[in-house]
């Protein structure tokens, strides 16, 4: 969940490294540091706190090295402190390392190294890496150009867990070595310079040409070249991939925060995810997929597996798949899925959703399903991400870089893509033709309706000012609206730190109503015409007990019944979550702003959860 940046070229490395860390601060922000190779040897500058603190360190402006590595941290081992910040050096100050991931056997390695005379100065698992590299480097009596690489290879062979690693060595001032396992790392190719990052947006302003590393790949970089090796040090070829994201999409473009910008980018994100091939008169096709009617007809079950917001997108997708395709569909939390021996076989299709494509629990669940002979399908926002390279099939949202930790446009794009997938399956199965034709018409109109919904910002902001000091808020919904209640509640928790809970509205009398008291706020979503009367009855129950009520609806109801009603455009129930979540995204945003909080970087959270 941390961020890595690296540079090797002709320019001063330190400004490039710090700039890259600032762009990666959504990955971690309890400490930061850089290491460069100077004429005097290795230099390390680091401190706890935000990346901007590096600018205040004595000597940072004097660094002139043109090769360096950098890291912004989200603490796993060791409290946020200067001594636990990356980079870390070995005892001899020969090697400097930054690392994302978790070394699961670091206790054993630390004991081994201590018994061999090494001393440790931090509480981190990472500090074993440079010392282990030095151990093998010192044992190697050869002095050829591959000595550095062999030491890194041998050290990585001993590591258990996940890692993305950058290593520089004072004896090889023109080289950098990077490697990865179960943690993201990309190499950006420039002219007489190369860039490294754990995430593409951090270096997108420098290049659009990238090498994507697979697990256990090792890369040796100079300013003019990148050589790739497998875990046995056999040379392997790598193709450059061009990423067409616009660098400006990783900038705020006049908005106060990335989150607000990304909320307002949703019309474009949905248009791009729908694509140009979608129309009312022809069947929808995914060029990346080749499922047959026979295969889909014989499926016993579909699993949708994901974490957090992506899982809630899956819950909305379950509704579309089951109703349009008549295939039983389960949605499961990735972190629980693989530990309960799920009933998966060759008659199961397993769909995995991850915005970054690097979510550790989701990738582990995918690998399990492949072992059980199920077909696997990845849904991601990042081309070439780990999950898309592991899966049998991959389809992409086209939301562009999402920088704010709290997901908005990625969520709505995921919901949209799963609905499109459901249409694709249903048309292959020749089911629900009339329903699908009506749905297609509403999908075409959807981006304009999102734009209409965004115009409600001022009304939502005014309600946020009334409730931002509350300690508890409840969200209610029935049917597909209950999935929106879950996501709305999560958004509020993430960025405002207000305790919130979501419940199926029909479950109120089975316990939760005991928590409703005078003055408490209850937010209800009401978009399914078949459930209007039932849901209003449930809302009346909380009104009777003194609750303030905010209702998000596209139905014709008596608005005077509630403290505030937000009327959104009417649309097909399958895609109503894309519209009904927007007022809740804005509500969470404005409450957080009223509280004076950092909207884009909520405490204890990071954008990409790359460790279990």
Tell me, yes or no, whether 235 and 254 share the same domain. Answer: no
What is the pLDDT confidence band of residue 29, given thresholds at 50, 70 and 90? low
Per the DSSP assignment, residues forming a β-bridge with 180 are: 164
pLDDT, tens digit (0-9, with 9 covering 90-100), for 360-380: 889 889 999 999 999 999 999
- Strands annotated E in 479-594: 499-504, 521-526, 548-553, 564-567
Mean pLDDT of 154-169: 93
Average pLDDT taken over every residue of the chain = 89
pLDDT of residue 493: 94
Residue 191 pLDDT > 60, yes or no?
A: yes
Residue 254 pLDDT > 70, yes or no?
A: yes
Q: Is residue 605 part of a domain?
A: no
Q: Is residue 157 part of a domain?
A: yes
Mean pLDDT of 317-346: 92
pLDDT of residue 75: 63
Q: Is residue 49 part of a domain?
A: yes
What is the pLDDT confidence band of residue 241, given thresholds at 50, 70 and 90? confident
CB 231, CB 157: distance < 8 Å? yes
pLDDT, tens digit (0-9, with 9 covering 90-100), for 540-591: 888 888 888 899 999 988 888 888 899 999 999 999 999 999 999 999 999 9
pLDDT, tens digit (0-9, with 9 covering 90-100), for 56-93: 888 888 999 999 999 987 666 667 677 788 899 999 99
Mean pLDDT of 398-406: 85
Residue 607 pLDDT > 60, yes or no?
A: no
Checking DSSP bridges between strand 186-189 and strand 176-181, what pairing results, if any?
A: unpaired
Which domain-ending residue is among 221, 243, 265?
243
pLDDT of residue 168: 97
pLDDT of residue 250: 61
Mean pLDDT of 172-200: 91
Mean pLDDT of 249-268: 85
3-state secondary structure of 265: coil
Q: Cβ–Cβ contacts within 10 Å for residue 184, how many? A: 25
Tokens of 476: 């209610």
pLDDT of residue 231: 93
Tell me, yes or no, whether 89 and 208 share the same domain. Answer: yes
Q: Tokens 């190697």: give the residue.
A: 140
Q: Which of 203-212, 370-379, 451-460 has the lowest mean pLDDT?
A: 203-212
512 lies in which domain range?
A: 457-594
Tell me, yes or no, whether 87 and 182 share the same domain. Answer: yes
**How many domains does the chain contain in total?**
3
Q: Which helix (H) or strand (E) holds 37?
A: strand 31-38
Catalytic hit among 409, 491, 601, 607: 607
pLDDT of residue 27: 56
Q: Is residue 604 part of a domain?
A: no
Q: Is residue 612 part of a domain?
A: no
Q: Is residue 447 part of a domain?
A: no
Q: Which helix (H) or strand (E) holds 221?
A: strand 218-221
2 a catalytic residue? yes
169 a catalytic residue? no
What is the pLDDT confidence band of residue 404, given thresholds at 50, 70 and 90? confident
Q: Is the dihedral of CA 341, 344, 345, 351 positive or negative?
A: negative
**CA dist., res. 4 & res. 167, Å (int):** 11
CATH number for the domain harbouring residue 228: 3.60.20.10
CATH number for the domain harbouring residue 535: 3.40.50.10490
Tell me, yes or no, whether 492 and 400 share the same domain. Answer: no
Tell me, yes or no, whether 473 and 400 share the same domain. Answer: no
Which domain-ending residue is among 398, 413, 442?
442
CB 589, CB 405: distance < 8 Å? no
pLDDT of residue 211: 92
Q: Is residue 512 part of a domain?
A: yes
For residue 573, the Cα-to-chain-centroid distance in whole angstroms is 27
Q: Is residue 337 part of a domain?
A: yes
Tell me, yes or no, whether 236 and 257 share the same domain. Answer: no
Tell me, yes or no, whether 489 and 547 share the same domain. Answer: yes
pLDDT of residue 393: 93
Which domain-ending residue is among 190, 212, 243?
243
What is the pLDDT confidence band of residue 141, given thresholds at 50, 70 and 90? confident
Catalytic hit among 2, 325, 350, 369: 2
Tell me, yes or no, whether 149 and 64 share the same domain. Answer: yes
Tell me, yes or no, whether 87 and 233 share the same domain. Answer: yes
Tell me, yes or no, whether 194 and 57 share the same domain. Answer: yes
Tell me, yes or no, whether 310 and 428 share the same domain. Answer: yes
What is the pLDDT confidence band of residue 235, given thresholds at 50, 70 and 90? very high
pLDDT of residue 128: 95
Residue 502 pLDDT > 60, yes or no?
A: yes
Q: Which helix (H) or strand (E) holds 187?
A: strand 186-189
Tell me, yes or no, whether 200 and 255 share the same domain. Answer: no
Higher pLDDT, 382 or 93: 93
């Amino acid at each position: 969940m941390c961020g890595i940046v690296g540079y090797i070229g002709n320019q001063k490395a330190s400004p490039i490294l710090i700039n890259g860390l600032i762009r990666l601060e959504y990955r971690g922000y309890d400490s930061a540091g850089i290491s460069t190779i100077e004429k005097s040897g290795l230099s390390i500058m680091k401190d706890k706190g935000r990346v901007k603190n590096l600018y205040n360190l004595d000597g940072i402006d004097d660094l002139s090295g043109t090769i360096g590595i950098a890291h912004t941290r989200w603490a796993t081992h060791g409290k946020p402190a200067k001594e636990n910040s990356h980079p870390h050096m070995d005892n001899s100050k020969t090697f400097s390392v930054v690392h994302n991931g978790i070394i699961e056997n670091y206790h054993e390695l630390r004991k081994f190294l201590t018994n061999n005379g090494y001393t440790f100065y931090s509480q981190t698992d990472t500090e074993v890496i440079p010392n282990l590299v030095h151990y093998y480097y010192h044992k190697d009596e050869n002095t050829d150009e591959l000595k550095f690489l062999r030491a890194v290879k041998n050290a990585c062979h001993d590591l258990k867990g996940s890692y993305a690693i950058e290593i520089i060595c004072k004896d090889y001032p023109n080289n950098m070595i990077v490697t990865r396992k179960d943690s993201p790392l990309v190499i950006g190719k420039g002219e007489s310079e190369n860039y490294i990052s754990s995430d593409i947006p951090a270096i997108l302003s420098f290049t659009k040409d990238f090498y994507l590393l697979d697990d256990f790949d090792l890369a040796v970089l100079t300013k003019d070249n990148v050589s790739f090796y497998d875990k046995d040090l056999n040379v392997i070829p790598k193709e450059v991939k061009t990423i067409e994201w616009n660098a400006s999409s990783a900038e705020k473009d006049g908005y106060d925060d990335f989150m607000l910008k990304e909320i307002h980018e949703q019309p474009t994100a949905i248009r791009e995810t729908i694509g140009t091939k979608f129309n009312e008169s022809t069947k929808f096709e995914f060029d990346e997929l080749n499922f047959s009617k026979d295969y889909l007809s014989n499926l016993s079950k579909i699993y949708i597996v994901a974490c957090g917001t992506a899982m809630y997108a899956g819950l909305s997708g379950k509704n579309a798949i089951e109703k349009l395709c008549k295939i039983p569909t389960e949605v499961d939390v990735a972190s629980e899925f693989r530990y309960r021996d799920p009933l998966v076989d060759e008659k199961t299709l397993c769909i995995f959703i991850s915005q970054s494509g690097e979510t550790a629990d989701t990738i582990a669940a995918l690998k399990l399903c492949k072992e059980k002979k199920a077909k696997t399908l990845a849904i991601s926002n990042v081309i070439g991400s780990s999950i898309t390279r592991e899966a049998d099939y991959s389809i992409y949202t086209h939301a562009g870089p999402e920088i704010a930790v709290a997901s908005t446009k990625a969520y709505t794009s995921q919901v949209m893509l799963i609905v499109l997938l459901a249409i694709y399956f249903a048309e292959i199965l020749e089911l629900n033709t009339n329903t699908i034709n009506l749905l297609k018409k509403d999908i075409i109109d959807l981006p304009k309706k999102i734009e209409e919904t965004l115009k409600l910002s001022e009304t939502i902001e005014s309600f946020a000012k009334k409730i931002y000091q509350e300690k508890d808020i409840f969200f209610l919904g029935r049917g597909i609206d209950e999935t929106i209640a879950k996501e709305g509640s999560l958004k509020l928790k993430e960025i405002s730190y207000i305790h919130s809970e979501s419940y199926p509205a029909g479950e109120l009398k089975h316990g939760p109503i005991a928590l409703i008291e005078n003055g408490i706020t209850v937010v209800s979503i009401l978009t399914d015409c078949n459930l209007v009367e039932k849901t209003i009855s449930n809302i009346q129950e909380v009104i009777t007990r003194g609750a303030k009520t905010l209702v998000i609806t596209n139905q014709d109801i008596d608005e005077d019944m509630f403290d505030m009603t937000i009327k959104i455009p009417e649309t097909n129930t399958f895609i109503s979550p894309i519209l009904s979540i927007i007022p809740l995204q804005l509500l969470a945003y404005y409450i957080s702003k009223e509280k004076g909080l950092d909207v884009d970087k909520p405490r204890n959270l990071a954008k990409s959860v790359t460790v279990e």
